[in-house]
Amino acid sequence: MKEFPGTSGLILNEPLLWEKGKKGRCGFSLPRRDVESFPVDENLAGDGPDFPDLSEVDVVRHYTRLSQWNFSVDSGMYPLGSCTMKYNPKTNERQAAQPGFAAAHPMLHPDLSQGILKLMFDLERFLIEITGMDAATLQPAAGAHGELAGMLLFYTYHQSKGAPRSKIIVPDTAHGTNPASAALCGYKPVPIKSNEKGILAPEDVAAVMDEQTAGIMVTNPNTLGLFEENIKKIAEIVHAKGGLVYGDGANMNAVMGITDMGKIGIDVLHLNLHKTFSTPHGGGGPGAGPVCVLKHLEPFLPVPRVILKKGRYLLSENFPESIGTLHAFNGNVGVLVKAYSYIMSLGAENLKKASQLAVLNASYIKTQLKETFKLAYDRPCMHECVFSDELQQAHKVTTLDIVKRLMDYGFHPPTIYFPLVVPGAIMIEPTETESKEDIDLFVQSLKAIAKEAAENPQLLTEAPTKCHRRRLDETMAARKPCLTG
């Protein structure tokens, strides 16, 4: 067995800067003044910010030490299920940092912004081709923002027909933001359960679909990592009652270049550029959640839209049926540049291969661990697989204990206790960017932990022991939260 990446090596504590600073220290030499000094009013002196006095080495070591407490996809495998935390090629960052993109003011005249406007125009066409849809907007800033845009499109579409509706069907295998996005637009979410195979049954959708229901929100592949194989039949049921089908495309990394979303009945689809198209995400952003639509919903897309007119790229608001503006200026353009770079770097063939490898890696983990942990649904999976702690409960070991111990082995924990339809869920998504050697090491770590659970469960219930911080008292944190910082 190879050596696990977890170590108890040198991890330095770091006090607050105010505790490190000493009066009179300075991290740089002030330039020679070309004006006379002016004394500060003593009555105002106490009102200024309390900056610590620090040397250059104080500052450098402070941020270096803090960075060593962090874990990132540049440090190691980030197997967060339903999040697609793939490695971000550095060329994407380089392109986004080009001065012509990074320093372009959003209020520049279009004649001085032809490059970035062309990039946005072309990116829309790339996303349309990849998804099989007809038109797109790049404005939404994240997945949930894309969902909100989709629900506004639903609302405006039904309003234009003179028949507003009040409900949205939301499966139990949808992403948790789906019902919230629907409720924000005044819709009442109607929950629907997946069947024994972990997917939607057409008859269950038919039972709740009526003329007051605006449509359905389907995550496909769903949060169990399973493809909704009945989606075409479900779309026909919804369309027959005048409804629309919303596709949550957060898991597009499993079907990119493989599934034509328009042909399987999706009317509106959001994408997460910060997942499928490689911009790193986490910590609050930035992200981008473009929305792709079929032709009948194109008039309602948000403005401004990039158009090509007489050889010039322009921003146009001349779309009278639009839902309006969703984001200041043109969205998170830096993220758009990274996605464009990613698509151009890979090309059509390798975008498809990325999805194929993501599915292969998840299937490999599922097969390697299904005798070690309870597999929620023993069926072909897509980009992720879902286990549970059912087999370890006999040793009084929980999912939380398992992943806390995994930190000692040097791996970031996978998503846990989600999706809610699987008690004690352990949701693993390796993505396509991990090598077989790294995946094998991850698998061996989990097998070793399962062995520890049977032979010495205390190792798990006290974990982690090698991290900068030990396990927190989550019960006390919930009952007596410290809200003062």
Residue 114 sits in a domain of what CATH number? 3.40.640.10
Residues 427 and 464 occupy one common structural domain: yes
Regarding whether 326 and 369 lie in a shared domain, the answer is: no
Structural domain includes residue 406: yes
Q: Same domain, yes or no, for 282 and 389?
A: no
So what's the pLDDT on residue 156? 98
Characterize 279-306 residue by residue with b for buried, 16 or more Cβ atoms within 10 angstroms of its Cβ, and e for exposed: bbbeeeebbbbbbbbbeebbbbbbbbbb
Q: Are 313 and 362 found together in one domain?
A: no
- Distance between CA atoms of residues 110 and 197, nearest Å: 52
If asked whether residues 171 and 317 sit together in one domain, one would say: yes
Task: Quickly list H helices, 161-201.
Answer: 177-184
Instruction: State the pLDDT at residue 61.
Output: 93
Domain termination residue (choose one: 345, 360, 380): 345
Backbone angles phi, psi at 353, to 5 degrees: -65, -35
Q: What are phi and psi of 111, to 5 degrees?
A: -65, -25
- Residue 235 domain-assigned (yes or no): yes
**In the prediction, which pLDDT does 71 show?**
86
278 and 151 assigned to the same domain: yes
Together in a domain, 299 and 174: yes
Tokens linked to 220: 């496909």
- Of 291, 319, 345, at which residue does a domain stop? 345
Same domain, 279 and 376: no
What pLDDT does residue 42 have?
67
Whether residues 318 and 391 share a domain: the answer is no
How many domains, the chain? 2
Task: Note the pLDDT of residue 46.
Answer: 62
State whether 152 and 259 are in the same domain. yes
Q: Which residue has the tokens 């845009």?
A: 149
Q: Within a domain: residue 186?
A: yes
Residue 233 lies in a domain: yes
Q: Is residue 327 part of a domain?
A: yes
Give me the torsion for CA of 373, 377, 378, 384, rounded to 10°. -80
* Cis peptide leading into residue 464 (ω within 30°): yes
Amino acid identity, position 361: N
Range of the domain at 306: 90-345
Q: Which of 345, 360, 377 is the last residue of a domain?
A: 345
pLDDT value at residue 28: 83
C-alpha closest to that of 255 among 108, 354, 164, 401: 354
- The pLDDT score that the predictor gives to residue 447 is 98
Is 373 inside a domain boundary? yes
* pLDDT values of the chain reduced to their tens digit, one per residue, 485 residues: 578 888 877 788 899 998 988 888 988 888 888 888 877 776 666 666 778 999 999 999 999 999 888 888 888 999 999 889 999 899 999 999 999 999 999 899 999 999 999 999 999 999 999 999 999 999 999 999 999 999 999 999 999 999 999 999 999 999 989 999 999 999 999 999 999 999 999 999 999 999 999 999 999 999 999 999 999 999 999 999 999 999 999 999 999 999 999 999 999 999 999 899 988 776 556 889 999 999 999 999 999 999 999 999 999 999 999 999 998 888 889 999 999 999 999 999 999 999 999 999 999 999 999 999 999 999 999 999 999 999 999 999 999 999 999 999 999 999 999 999 999 999 999 999 999 999 999 999 999 999 999 999 999 999 999 988 888 888 888 898 887 65
In a domain, 485, yes or no: no
| Residue 238 · residue 244 · CB < 8 Å | yes
Cis peptide before 39 (omega within 30 of 0): no
- For residues 302 and 438, state if they share a domain: no
